[in-house]
Structure 1
């Protein structure tokens, strides 16, 4: 009796991360360079009755306008897109959508409608994969109760996907990055380590299910809990890392942030990925940007994890939020220091 040979696959699975120079929010323009580019480019006054409540000045997560003088209804507008952070097309779509929606939650808002932003190398990658990416985005938007009303696409040498999202918020109950004050604890709503794990995934193809679960989790519950707890100051932790976003929040609020490194949670496998050298270039750039403004009483490896470029990370809230860990506090401003890590 002869045995037939096992069938040979006609093609290897497509690894989307191999078609991008970077991955996820780690491919952002470095924060120091970006601030130089946008310096002085505040938006011109708009017409009508709309009042700009949050613009470019403090580098907050989204733009916010009050629709009518004295009114409570505000519109929150944002856009976010990036190169593949994982190889699975649907997971990439889910992660990118959760990340874009996060900017609205970080302002204390509720997403209402989104439009897709898709760049696709149509001669290199099958359009069936693009459909899977869009399906993943639609799935997560549905979980958020947010309509997806179309979008825009371009033929591009490198795949990119995200969303422009519009939401609403109470104009008098926003979460902003410039309203922190001394004496408030700092709460972090998702673990860190996504950047180093995504870097390892790109290099080896290993799949980290916990990291995918963290990145596809909406910040809706965290935002609602922060508002219910009376918080007025928050930001999300994405491409500039915890240290970078903490620096921006403390600088905008005129305080110093004290971070307890031992209290910061991490996704399983993050420390091992760091030890084995899977550090995104964006994480190193984040640390170098923050270092002149920080007092880092930790080892260099720990500082790199704290500066790790996150994709679809959690909220950093000035205030105690039940159910989430407190990782530090805001204190009175210290000369030349926005972030102190102990």
Structure 2
């Protein structure tokens, strides 16, 4: 984005911490609409409002500062990330509105490239850009408000995991620390290419592959990292055993941890849930990977064990990533147990 350094902590790592948000939201005395099927009480990915007996509207919005210097790539990542919440609810996005904050003194060609990048991902998703809103600001921010449709009996909430389910993840972890290494000019180009490809891959494809199967809980892994999103999925009703050796991450992440290319957002994530987490063996690298904030991360699904082989076959045939990372068990003293 010209010679200036714009990406000083953008993407989903710019989120406020989960604890702070919870303290604020739990005090709000909101209007209760009987047709609101999913709201913020469950910490879910988007809201769902029933409009007919069998259809609901999915609503979400997401925006953040740049995490890369290329404005077109930034627009692609922001749009891919915003669309993800609709897919994570089992819905299909239909329309989107741009959200733009832009300094008066900046070159409008930069803004044009950002919006073009976002719109190209909308076209790939068959989503119509129908408008938006912009304001002058001291820094650049971009994202989308997205509206989708979902069948009421197909809504995928994030907190209905069942004992015996298997956990699968559809993208690698380590986005946050890789972007930090990039800012320090210490990330290999081929690793960055892999990370950028991941961040611009629509979760539409993984959601479609999961649709025929018994998915009991579904969310996407973004700024709160794997651990916080997983803890919200368990909702103090179940526990999970994670297979530490199966946790997928981008190449060079061990090096990034050794170099302490870590973020404040990762520490915030750790502070939010570490009392609910038990590591069977001390593993600093694995901890950092699991708390690392992801931008436009993959889907995390709790699926019926009987469907696992078919799901893995479907993803393999489609050439899509799918990693088995754990299993859901009855509630124990802690929510998350990390083994080998």
Kindly indicate whether residue 204 of structure 2 is the aligned counterpart of residue 217 of structure 1. Answer: no
**What is the RMSD computed on CA atoms of the aligned residues?**
1.6
Contact 1:258/1:339 (<8 A) preserved: yes
Question: 1:130-209 residue pairs with structure 2 within 5 A?
Answer: 130-204=111-185, 206=187, 207=189, 208-209=192-193
Pick aligned residue for 1:58 from 42, 55, 68? 42
Pick aligned residue for 1:107 from 84, 89, 96? 89
Q: After the TM superposition, which segments of 4 or more aligned residues of structure 1 sit over 3 Å from their partners?
A: 11-15
Question: 1:300-315 residue pairs with structure 2 within 5 A?
Answer: 300-315=284-299
Q: Secondary structure at the match of 1:136?
A: helix
Q: Secondary structure at the match of 1:57?
A: helix
Of stretches 319-328 and 189-198 in structure 1, the one that deviates more from structure 2 is: 319-328
Kindly indicate whether residue 16 of structure 2 is the aligned counterpart of residue 16 of structure 1. Answer: no
Larger helix percent: 2
Counterpart for residue 338 of structure 2:
341
Q: Secondary structure at the match of 1:179?
A: coil
Distance 1:95 1:269 in 2: 21
Distance 2:51 2:61 in 1: 20
- Cα offset for 1:151? 0.5
Kindly indicate whether residue 216 of structure 2 is the aligned counterpart of residue 226 of structure 1. Answer: no
TM-score, with length taken from structure 1: 0.90
Q: Secondary structure at the match of 2:60?
A: strand
Q: How many residues align?
A: 321
Kindly indicate whether residue 261 of structure 2 is the aligned counterpart of residue 278 of structure 1. Answer: yes
Counterpart for residue 7 of structure 1:
none
Distance 1:267 1:301 in 2: 13
Distance 2:172 2:30 in 1: 34
Q: Secondary structure at the match of 2:41?
A: coil
Pick aligned residue for 2:221 from 220, 223, 237? 237
Contact 1:23/1:198 (<8 A) preserved: no
- Cα offset for 1:205? 7.6
Counterpart for residue 97 of structure 1:
79
- Cα offset for 1:227? 1.9
Contact 2:103/2:136 (<8 A) preserved: yes
Of stretches 182-191 and 292-301 in structure 1, the one that deviates more from structure 2 is: 292-301
Distance change (3 Å), C-alpha of 1:234 and 1:119: same
Question: 1:35-74 residue pairs with structure 2 within 5 A?
Answer: 35-41=22-28, 43-46=30-33, 51-68=35-52, 71-74=53-56
After superposition, the C-alpha distances for 1:55-89 in whole angstroms (9 at most, x for unaligned) are 01110000001112xx1111100000011111110
Give the unaligned 5+ runs of structure 1.
1-10
Counterpart for residue 319 of structure 2:
none
After superposition, the C-alpha distances for 1:313-342 in whole angstroms (9 at most, x for unaligned) are 00000013322221001100012x111111
Contact 2:162/2:216 (<8 A) preserved: no
After superposition, the C-alpha distances for 1:86-143 in whole angstroms (9 at most, x for unaligned) are 11100000000000000000001110000000111222x3111111100000000110
Of stretches 236-245 and 280-289 in structure 1, the one that deviates more from structure 2 is: 280-289
Counterpart for residue 330 of structure 1:
328
